[in-house]
Amino acid sequence: MLGVMLLAGLLVEWIPQLIRHGILGQGVWLDSLLADVMGSLAVGQPIVSYLLAGELQRAGIALLPVTVFIVSWITVGVISLPVEAAALGWRFALWRNAVAFLLALAIGVVTVGLLRAF
């Protein structure tokens, strides 16, 4: 658990650099797509996602990209794909990850829409 927290701390330090280099901060929709890709490539634990989401918002990232990043970070597993494929088959693992990638965007839009509605 301590190792996961330390890795999350390193990731939090990179966020302002990503914004400074122009990778994030390009607009809500482009940031959401980039957040979906970055979240899919990373591996994360749900408990760390709360800390990371707060730091992303403090760094000036909009709520939609933060939500998409956290959802894809937890549900899509490119790094763990070989293990999942060995247990469940390549076809299932690839389909599950592709659907989770697309649903991360949809869940982000619905979540932010519901938060703004209420």
d(CA 69, CA 42): 10
> Of the candidates 61, 77, 75, 59, which has an alpha carbon nearest to the alpha carbon of residue 107?
75
pLDDT tens-digit series, residues 54-111:
878 887 888 999 999 899 989 998 888 889 999 999 999 999 999 999 999 999 999 9
Percentage of the chain lying above the pLDDT 70 cut? 81
Percentage of the chain lying above the pLDDT 90 cut? 42
Note down the domain range covering 36: 2-117
Give the chain's domain count.
Answer: 1
Max mean pLDDT among 2-6, 44-48, 54-58, 68-72 falls in 68-72
Task: Please provide the distance, in angstroms rounded to a whole number, between the alpha carbons at the two ends of the chain.
Answer: 35
Q: What is the pLDDT of residue 1?
A: 60
CB 42 within 8 A of CB 49: no
